């Protein structure tokens, strides 16, 4: 079954001095302030599109990886994934680096790496980020 999720943003002012708010409509989890400095300097309590993409990428990867591991006969006890999304002003989003550390009983490091790579390639957010270099560091806990 297809699912559509929604968020909306309101921006006031010019790019450099303006600011906005992103609202997560579907979940109702809240409103998050955004600004240009949060993208290119210090967040100072505000978020950026890149941080939101990092959240989406890390959570999507964990879902895909847990499914792949379970189908291979080694359901994970825990997966902790960080996504570092890089934005270059004037160029755009250039990379997303996933770092996963997992507790997966009965699985060796080589198989963990192989299945992590499969998850990286097949995660729907990875697929949506075509044109962005996606790298991966994977290790067993």
One digit per residue, the tens of pLDDT, for the chain of length 141 reads 899 999 999 999 999 999 999 999 999 999 999 999 999 999 999 999 999 999 999 999 999 999 999 999 999 999 999 999 999 999 999 999 999 999 999 999 999 999 999 999 999 999 999 999 999 999 999
* Total domain count, the chain: 2
pLDDT for residue 106: 96
The three-state secondary structure class of 23 is strand
* Residue carrying structure tokens 């002003």: 89
Positive or negative torsion for Cα 2, 26, 63, 82: positive
Q: Are residues 53 and 81 in the same domain?
A: yes
Looking up residue 76, the CATH number of its domain turns out to be 3.30.300.20
* Residue carrying structure tokens 């290119």: 40
Q: Which pTM value belongs to this model? A: 0.95
* Residue carrying structure tokens 């990379």: 95
Residue 15: HSE in the Cβ half-sphere, 13 Å Cα cutoff: 3
CA–CA separation, 16 and 28 (whole Å):
28
Q: Are residues 99 and 30 in the same domain?
A: no
Q: Which domain holds residue 14?
A: 7-40
For residue 74, tell me if it sits in a domain.
Answer: yes
Closest CA to 61 of 105, 101, 6: 101
Q: Are residues 26 and 76 in the same domain?
A: no
Instruction: Quote the crossing angle between the two packed helices 109-122 and 49-71, to the nearest 10°.
Output: 130
For residue 33, tell me if it sits in a domain.
Answer: yes
pLDDT for residue 17: 94
Decide if 87 contacts 40 (C-beta within 8 A).
yes
For residue 1, tell me if it sits in a domain.
Answer: no
Q: Are residues 34 and 64 in the same domain?
A: no
The three-state secondary structure class of 100 is strand
């Amino acid at each position: 079954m297809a699912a559509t999720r929604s968020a909306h943003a309101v921006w006031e002012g010019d790019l450099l001095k303006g600011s906005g708010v992103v609202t997560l409509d579907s979940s109702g989890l809240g409103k998050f302030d955004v600004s240009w400095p949060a993208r290119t300097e210090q967040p100072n309590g505000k978020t950026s599109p890149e941080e939101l993409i990092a959240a989406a990428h890390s959570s999507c990867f964990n879902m895909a990886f847990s499914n792949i591991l379970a189908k291979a006969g080694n359901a994970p006890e825990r997966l902790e994934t960080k996504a570092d999304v890089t934005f270059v002003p004037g160029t755009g989003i250039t990379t997303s680096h996933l770092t996963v550390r997992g507790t997966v009983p009965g699985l060796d490091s080589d198989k963990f790496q192989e299945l992590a790579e499969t998850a990286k390639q097949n995660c729907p957010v990875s697929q949506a980020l075509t044109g962005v270099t996606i790298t991966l560091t994977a290790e067993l806990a």
